[in-house]
Structure 1
Amino acid sequence: MKTLVALLCTISALAGSVFSYKCISCMCRNSTTCLESETECLGDRCMAASQYYHLNRKELKSFYKGCANETLCEKKGSVIVKDGEFVFGTHCCTGELCNNQVYEIPKEDPTPNGVKCPVSMCLDTLEECKTDKKINCTGSMDRCIDYRATLRIFYGKDTKYSGKGCANSDLCRYNTDSNIGIDEMHRGYLKCY
């Protein structure tokens, strides 16, 4: 019986060390520095994520470190609309405290890919932002997007956005609950085609 108890204690100790790792944890909204701490994570993977938002000459950069969200690991999303751009990227790593660096999003390939999409941006409306203008999509952005939502950016006031442009497939599947500092308060419409 003592042998069985000792074996179970050993297995339990090993399981705890295999399935629980520490990752660096912080969220920085429109900043390049934040107070880092350590957090216990289930599994052995940590994540670092960055987001870049640009609209009407306003630029916001944010980053996150913490436990890995496996559905987001190694994703890079890009969307370009009239006078605006949103890019996110994630990197997951294995091992304790492995997410100690800020993740720099790789630059999008500027080479046109042959896809052309309508391009527009309208504020203060969830109605379709109609346009006759088109944009040449580049790099991995091989889908057209029509997006309408009420967003709150960095604890500001809620603003309605309606826009069309180019996007890549990761952006089209992106879960906005993972945003850093940009909260989707209400989604009116999203279509990638």
Structure 2
Amino acid sequence: MKNLVALLCMTSSLVGSDSSYKCFSCWSYNSTTCNVSATECLGDRCMTASQYFNIGDKTFKSVYRGCANKTLCGTKGSGIVKNMKFRFYVFCCTGNLCNNQSYELPLDNLTINGVKCPTALCTGTLEECKSDKEVNCTGSMDQCMDYRAKLKNPDGTVEKYSAKGCVNSDCCRYNFGSNIGFEEIDREYLKC
């Protein structure tokens, strides 16, 4: 699966309609604002995808605006992998240039829900990343994930990742390929 930006661009052309609408279009990795332009879309829906990505002491907030992919509308993904947290939200609206809202993510539910998952993050390998540590899942994160893939980072470098942690159902469906700016090159394994 390609990153969310590529997925959104490719599938927006599949939305059928006899008339054309315009949506604001832009994407920005590690910024909540981006230089917008108008783009023609098939269908009458636009979208804004907001993302929060935290690893260690670094926090990245990213945004994408463009033509809607109806399968992603309303998606709220969240996950915890070792010392990394990530969330994304896809808001869709109907009409010309309707996706002008500011960066927004629903509040994170930090309530421990009783699910515990093994947690590990390894780079440079597609082998299983093993760890005897567990993480307490929170909010809607009710599934354990084991993921291994080669990803293209936002800076253009390609790296192998092996990760385990807590995710919710939306995050499992779109996994690390959903991160704005990342591109999944080759998936080795995914199990939720």
The answer to whether the superposition gives a TM-score over 0.5 is yes
Which secondary structure does the structure 2 equivalent of 1:173 belong to?
Answer: helix
On the 8 A contact 2:73/2:92 being kept in 1, the answer is yes
Deviations 1:4-61 (A, max 9, x none): xxxxxxxxxxxxx973211111111222332211111111111000122222433222
Does residue 59 (structure 1) correspond to residue 46 (structure 2)? The answer is: no
Task: State the Cα distance separating 1:176 from its structure 2 match.
Answer: 6.0
Question: Which residues in structure 2 correspond to 1:1-193 (within 5 Å)?
Answer: 19-174=19-174, 179-192=179-192
**What are the superposed Cα offsets for residues 122-181 of structure 1, whole Å, 9 maximum, x if unpaired?**
121111111221111110000000111122221242121111110000011117665421
Give the alignment's Cα RMSD to 1 decimal. 1.8
Amino acid at match of 1:39: T
3-state SS, counterpart of residue 128 of structure 1: coil
Paired-residue identity, %:
62
With over 3 angstroms needed to count, the CA separation of the structure-2 counterparts of 1:178 and 1:167, relative to structure 1, is closer
- Contact 1:63–1:102 under 8 Å retained in 2: no
Please say if residues 34 and 63 of structure 2, whose CA atoms lie closer than 8 Å, have aligned partners that are also in contact: no
Aligned equivalents of 1:96 and 1:159: distance in 2? 39
2:69, 2:177 → 1: CA distance? Answer: 12
Bigger shift: residues 68-77 or 130-139 = 130-139
CA–CA distance in 2 between the matches of 1:180 and 1:41? Answer: 20
Instruction: Tell me, in whole angstroms, the C-alpha distance in 2 between the residues paired with 1:177 and 1:167.
Output: 14
Bigger drift between 38-47 and 152-161 goes to 152-161
Q: Which runs of 5+ in 1 are unaligned?
A: 1-16
Residue identity matched to 1:33: T
Partner Cα distance (2:45, 2:103) in 1: 15
Task: Evaluate the alpha carbon distance shift between residue 178 and residue 42 of structure 1 in structure 2; reply closer, same or farther with a 3 A threshold.
Answer: farther
C-alpha distance in 1 between matches for 2:141 and 2:161: 20
Higher relative contact order (CA 8 A, sep 6+): 2
Q: Deviations over 1:43-102 (max 9, x none)?
A: 111100012222243322211111100010000111101011221110001111110013
Partner SS state of residue 174, structure 2: coil
Q: 1:25 to 1:96 in 2, by over 3 A?
A: same
The alignment's TM-score, normalised by the length of structure 2, stands at 0.84
Distance 2:88 2:71 in 1: 14
> Between Structure 1 and Structure 2, how many residues are aligned?
176
